[in-house]
A = this chain, B = another copy of it.
Amino acid sequence: MVSRVEQSEETRGKIVAAAVAAFSTLGFHGASTREIAARAGINQGLITYHFRSKELLWRAAVEKIFASLRTALVPLPTSPASDPREQARESIRRYVRFAAAHPELFRLMVEEGKSGDRRMQWLVDTYLRPFYEGFKEQLAESLSEPEQSLEPHAFYALAGAVSLMFAVEPECRRLTGLNPKRKQVVEQHADYVARLFVP
């Protein structure tokens, strides 16, 4: 962190991290650049300097979220011996672990998916569709069920079942007394959802 470029990249990183949290919980309009700067512990002017505009910062935040999603779900070295259904279950478990560690993705997708504006369209076309196509392929391989037209239903049912508990973590805590961040709770949810979709 001595060099200037490293310092600069660290600053950008702090801003994007704060932006991810702020945009996902407060929405695009609700999250002000001042708020983001405060959370990042940096100066508000730096946001314009590094990202030119709030919208471009938002895109950088979305990029970061999907980058960590790709990292988390990168295909494992397929052990040919194991049951394809068990592989599918493990994929779902990994998705649950990601949703628990990064509730921001679901929050942001719901926040943006409610409206049909330009940002949502960009988000779908740029990041969500590739992910969805990958999901369809994996579903076809692992389960090989003939209900092809059910793909949208399976996709949204899975995403919702996997993520909701972690997206509304404070609510879940108060309602059930369960802390969704505890590793044991995450694993229980992972196993529950995995067996639900791949009995």
Interface range for A: 35 or more
A158–B156 CB distance below 8 A: no
The majority secondary structure among interface residues of chain A is: helix
Copies of the protein in its oligomer: 2
Q: Which among B30, B125, B176, B192 is the interface contact of A27 at CB below 8 angstroms?
A: B30
Q: Which of A2-10, A47-55, A64-72, A147-155 contacts B (4 or more CB under 8 A)?
A: A147-155
A175 to B167, CA, bound (A): 22
Chain A 149-170: CB-based contact to B (< 8 A → 1; otherwise 0): 1111111111111111101111
* A144 interface contact, C-beta 8 A: no
B192–A157 CB distance below 8 A: yes
Q: Which of A38-46, A73-81, A82-90, A105-113 contacts B (4 or more CB under 8 A)?
A: A105-113
B174–A116 CB distance below 8 A: yes
A125 to B173, CA, bound (A): 12
A156–B164 CB distance below 8 A: yes
Chain B residue contacts of A107, Cβ below 8 A: 110, 114
* A17 interface contact, C-beta 8 A: no
| Known contacts A113-B171, A161-B158; A152/B178 CB under 8 A | yes
Rounded to whole Å, the gap between the CB of A74 and the closest CB of chain B is 22
A175–B124 CB distance below 8 A: yes
Q: Which among B123, B149, B153, B168 is the interface contact of A109 at CB below 8 angstroms?
A: B168
| Known contacts A30-B27, A150-B192, A170-B120; A165/B175 CB under 8 A | no
Chain B residue contacts of A160, Cβ below 8 A: 157, 159-165
Residue of B nearest to A167 (CB): B110
B29–A193 CB distance below 8 A: no
Q: Which among B109, B113, B123, B176 is the interface contact of A152 at CB below 8 angstroms?
A: B176
A151, A157, A167, A192, most chain B CB atoms within 10 A: A157
9 additional A-B pairs beyond A27-B30, A157-B161, beta carbons within 8 Å, are: A26-B27, A112-B171, A113-B168, A113-B172, A116-B170, A128-B171, A129-B175, A157-B164, A157-B196
